[in-house]
Structure 1
Amino acid sequence: MLDGAVLVTGGAGYIGSHAVLALLDAGHRVVVIDNLTTGFAWAVDRRATLIQGNIEDDGLVRAALRDHDVRAIMHFAGSIIVPESVTDPLKYYRNNTVASRALLESAVVCGVRHFIFSSTAATYGTPEKVPVSEGDPTVPINPYGTSKLMTEIMLRDVAAAHPINYCALRYFNVAGADPEGRTGQSTAGATHLIKIAVEAATGKRETVGVFGTDYDTPDGTGVRDYIHVSDLAAAHVAALDLLVAQPARSHVLNAGYGRGFSVLEVLDAVDRVTNMKLERVVQGRRPGDAGALVADNRAILATLDWKPARDDLDMIVRDALAWERALQQRS
């Protein structure tokens, strides 16, 4: 067990709030910094300490690190919408790259020894082969992926110069919600397919867009590797355990299940779970989207003490749907 607290940046957001739950359930002491731009204070478990602010605020971050005896950071704060990164790249380099640089400097100044970073499969761009492994070329095709890759490079260089180790988890497509209904994806205007589909299934949207049917995939629609958010949160806790146990080593690991589903296959799953038929509207490709992104996940399975517990597309959809219905009741 870590001797000290874990700081979770962006811990009031979708993936961050699940990581907070996983850490607390494992017995860790947790401090959250979130500016609540897209996150929600109510999504942070009451067992954690919530500080509202920005990770670029050196004074606030360093006070939190020292006051709460923080020994590890899990960094989720940032912007995540691929098409927006194409139209507003400077926002992504500010929120994802510049802000991460500030956070890393605060970590070094305050002697934090372990850093876990929420990276992305978008660092690969359009991979030469599928599934894609950690050693394959990283050639992002959008500013979102580039901004995350730049942070990975900073982590590599900082770890070479200072007594800190890190694990960068390259997420594939994260979906679902806490099976106990404690948190889920709550941001308005979300762009994730399963979130959009369950919003349509509960009447929040009239249709679901299918962006591109001419990809080099079995049915022409984009193929993605969908990982349940609770499995992903568990992988973060396992990564922290590994960093503590092996303080001289750092890791870059794909976080996925190793198989992909097309847009149409996902929508078929939602139809099965809801026993209804979603209205699908075919549109052109979105800028910055790759045709297929599927993880070669052998490294994460071999490196971490972690095995997926919810590797089932229908289960992911059911959990997402249950959370969407709970949000309706909340409002």
Structure 2
Amino acid sequence: MNALNQAAAQELQRLSQLDALSHYTPETLLEAFLHAHNQQTQEWNALVEENQALTVKVADLESLAIDAQNYANQIIEMEKEIGALQEENEFCRNMALEAEKIAKAKIKRDQEYTALARQLELSSARVKELQRQLTELKGSDNPQKLREQIQRVKEKSKERDAKITRLERTNQQLKDSIKTKDAQMVTAIEKIKRLEMEIRNGGFTGIYHEGDHHIILWPQMITSVNKETGQTHTSRALLHMHQSGTARLISYDDETHSVLIHKAPTGGVRIPKDVLQFAENWLFNVNVTQKGEVTPKDLVQINLNAEAA
């Protein structure tokens, strides 16, 4: 019974709607239909555009998340490198202290050698004097006593000669050791300077600044691909950073002897010619002339923003 009543009610509602529509002309109904259809189409297009924009934002956020993870990993690696550099710095400091001890020992040996040389000189003079006296005393009443005295002087002189020879040999060994240590010290001092500079800069060393543009030494070797030949090569690289936050890696292709600017985002910042020229010269000097070796001189900053600052 309820189903019958519900069906009857729906039929009455349908007839009522048909009766209401009968008051409008077909043109009016068609215009209303087209208006409603256009409005729905516009709303649908708006939803599609919004969905596309959200898709782009999601892709950007995913890219930023990957970059953030990469930076976090780089920070961990740099902390490990800093720890290793601090250990090397401590080693070099201990080497310097050891060299100082050797230098002090050499000074003491030199003083002893000088004293013994003087004693030898005095002993030789005494022997000559005794020989002269012996010549004068050939007719002496007690020649045996004189011979014994001369023998004792000669024995003492031999002992001093042997000691001087040992000291001279030890002194030469010390000189050779100090010469080796001096060479090691020069290398260690250069390494300490480089390590201290790397520690102060945290591995990212700013080497060129002009306006909103900055060139930073990338701390790791990177692998690049030549688009024309498909060949890969490993080299030092620089990071071009714009004040707005946009950054691009610049590497050097030693096959074509030209810089490679890694793909930049659409609408990215163009590197000025003078900034790019500096990067090309720096990369050629380090990768080609110095075979990838970075010296403290290469880490000296050229800061054209210093006056403005």
TM interval, shorter chain, is under 0.3
Q: 1 or 2 for the larger relative contact order (CA 8 Å, sep ≥6)? A: 1
Normalised by the length of structure 2, the TM-score is 0.23
Normalised by the length of structure 1, the TM-score is 0.22
Q: Which has more radius of gyration?
A: 2
